[in-house]
Amino acid sequence: MADSTISFLVLGAVVVLFVWNRIPVELVAIGAGLALYATGVLELDQVLAGYGDATVVLIASLFVVSEGLDATGVTTWAGQEMIARAGTDRSRLLVYVMLLVAVLTALVSVNGAVAALLPMVVVVAVRLGRSPSQLVMPLAFAAHAGSMLALTGTPVNVIVSDAAVDAGGSRFGYLSFALVGIPLLVGVIAIAVVLGPRLLPERHARVIPPDLSAHARTLVRQYLDAESVARMLVGEGSTLVGRRQAELALADHPRVAIVGIAHGSDPVVEGDAIGQVQVEVGDFLLVRGDDDAIAALAADHGLHLQAPAARGDEGRRLLNRGAGVGEVVVAPRSELIGQSVFPGMVTDSGDFVVLAVQRRGDDLGPDPVTLAAGDTLLLQGTWAALDRTLDSREVLVVDRPDLVRRQAVPMGPGARRAAAVLAAMVVLLITGAVPTVVAGLLAAGAMVLLRVLTVDQAYRGISWTTVVLVGGMIPLSTAITQSGAADTLANGLVDLVGDHGPYALLLGLFVLTAVLGQLISNMATALIVIPIALSAAAELAVSPRPVLMSVTVAAAASFLTPVATPANLMVMDPGGYRFGDYWKLGLPMLLWFGVVSVLLVPQIWSF
């Protein structure tokens, strides 16, 4: 059997398995390469070459950069700032939301930007009495348009840029994509504003993503409302000066618990051990207890009672750039069962302060209690300690600390460093001072070196599905080109468009790419179509650059089904959408992408 025939059979099987969606896409991609090796179409080194390809390495490094921005609250800060300025007008809110997600997508990724903004957009819609279904599908669709604003918007851009080099030309510049991305985004926003109210359903969300932006106030209401919380200034003659927080469990005042220490107005955390923070003159103690006990503490230890702490003040000290809280439940068979704890005590490790203990929803007060399975504890510690320690079998974490930090602490610890790394990477990519993969690796390494992320966080931030999928599909793309299958398909496409010229070729490629892109990953679609497009361009003796950019635009036009992209699927439940809701708004957007792909692209990159 000819190699081209085998390549067609493997390609057909891959498309069918992707559409069937019963086998993980990673296994399908790996299986395609193994099938090509087993049938002798490719050598073993060609099958494995995809995983060492510069494109795959760059994509993985961009995921690490994206994780750094998200984990430090940069994306949350951007979302809250923009939504706060949007007001209550539907059209204005929609424009702001779509512009924001598009810009974030260009710097982060489609899925990362949508995931970061989705909870806020849903909550804002509910607060304003609007249906989330009117906002969250435009959110996802604007992200697809935003992916065309910069090289880093989507892995497809990276793949196409590398394909341009392989075709004998130069790379697309970092902002070259914006030449078509800006018109795409303007059209998508206009369609959503004008046609959205008529084409989108009015439904309530089946599932609302957790909104943790007001998490501190929620915890204050649940755990600290039963008692007074006061802010106390440490005077020069205070007996507490020089003592560590671990030593502040005052036996002579059992009815008072130390909630936190602050130098001036800023919460204090030194290193990873919150219990090692020392009290200094001029510090403020945040304490909880009944009014008489707080007054007695002030009199005995040289503390000056300030006005009762405002709820926002308490919340800022619970969750801030240095420290956070973990709400945990004592697990069955935990070693903590039977241990004695009380509010204000510092754990043996010095990592945490126990702020409150509840059993069946009732506060157990300031006295020592013996822990039982199902008890709930509110623990305060540094974010590093929370991430490190609460990942254990002894407790069940109610809300993961990293998720709380991303939403509740905008511009959190490491945010400025993460933004600086991003800016430096963008400069390197725009100027071309180093190869793109080197810029990506430098940025990813800087995120870890500057302690924006740990190595484990960096690994978790990488979408390994994407990495394995792209690495596994590259051998199939190689086989399609090397075996002559791409030439056969290209000749058929050229014969189909006949004498209608290169514009008809772009139309044919757009239809092929867009149809496949509604059913399978746009990355897989691009890797399948790119060799066909390059062969067709060679057949018609036209420049490959407009052809490749046209395919890129078509690959981003994933609007008609919820399974077209993870972002589309992500908004389905929060928006209360059904499968058939997507094509109504998606079709005019698909047509707009077609106009840009076929008519505008050749005006920028001539044939």
Residues 6+ apart with CB under 8 A from 8: 485
**Domain limit, last residue, from 266, 300, 318:** 318
Q: Could you say which DSSP state residue 244 is in?
A: B
d(CA 531, CA 83): 42
206 and 68 fall within a common domain: yes
Residues of the chain with pLDDT under 70: 127, 205-211, 213-214, 224-229, 245-252, 259-260, 262-276, 306-318, 498-499, 563
Residues 6+ apart with CB under 8 A from 243: 278, 279
Share of the chain above pLDDT 70, in %: 89
| Domain contains 307 | yes
Of 526, 531, 595, the C-alpha closest to 556 is 526
Contact (CB, 8 A) for 378 and 354: yes
311 and 381 fall within a common domain: no
Contact (CB, 8 A) for 439 and 422: no
Q: How many residues would you count in the chain?
A: 607
The DSSP line for 574-590 is HHT--GGGHHHHHHHHH
68 and 201 fall within a common domain: yes
313 and 327 fall within a common domain: no
Query: What pLDDT, on a 0 to 100 scale, did the predictor assign at position 310?
Result: 45
Q: Could you say which DSSP state residue 278 is in?
A: B
d(CA 526, CA 532): 10
**pLDDT tens per residue across span 222-264:** 776 655 667 778 888 788 887 776 666 566 677 777 766 766 5
| Domain contains 239 | yes
219 and 205 fall within a common domain: no
The CA-atom distances, in angstroms, between 329 and each of 160, 373, 404 are 49, 8, 17
**Domain limit, last residue, from 287, 318, 349:** 318
**Domain limit, last residue, from 271, 300, 318:** 318
- Helix, strand or coil for residue 468? helix
145 and 270 fall within a common domain: no
| Domain contains 543 | no
111 and 226 fall within a common domain: no
Kindly report the CATH number assigned to the domain that includes residue 284. 3.30.70.1450
Query: What pLDDT, on a 0 to 100 scale, did the predictor assign at position 239?
Result: 80
337 and 361 fall within a common domain: yes
Q: Is the dihedral of CA 267, 217, 77, 81 positive or negative?
A: negative
| Domain contains 437 | yes
| Domain contains 278 | yes
Number of domains in the chain: 3
| Domain contains 434 | yes
Q: Please give the helix or strand (H or E) that residue 546 lies within, else none.
A: helix 544-556
Per the structure, the complete domain to which residue 124 belongs is given by 64-154+164-210+415-464
Query: What pLDDT, on a 0 to 100 scale, did the predictor assign at position 315?
Result: 57
Query: What pLDDT, on a 0 to 100 scale, did the predictor assign at position 271?
Result: 44
196 and 267 fall within a common domain: no
Contact (CB, 8 A) for 282 and 263: yes
Query: What pLDDT, on a 0 to 100 scale, did the predictor assign at position 493?
Result: 75
Kindly report the CATH number assigned to the domain that includes residue 383. 3.30.70
| Domain contains 268 | yes
| Domain contains 605 | no
The answer to pTM > 0.75 is no
128 and 168 fall within a common domain: yes
Of 90, 49, 109, 136, the C-alpha closest to 570 is 136
The CA-atom distances, in angstroms, between 80 and each of 73, 92, 119, 192, 539 are 10, 15, 11, 22, 51
202 and 74 fall within a common domain: yes
Query: What pLDDT, on a 0 to 100 scale, did the predictor assign at position 26?
Result: 84
Query: What pLDDT, on a 0 to 100 scale, did the predictor assign at position 269?
Result: 45
186 and 225 fall within a common domain: no
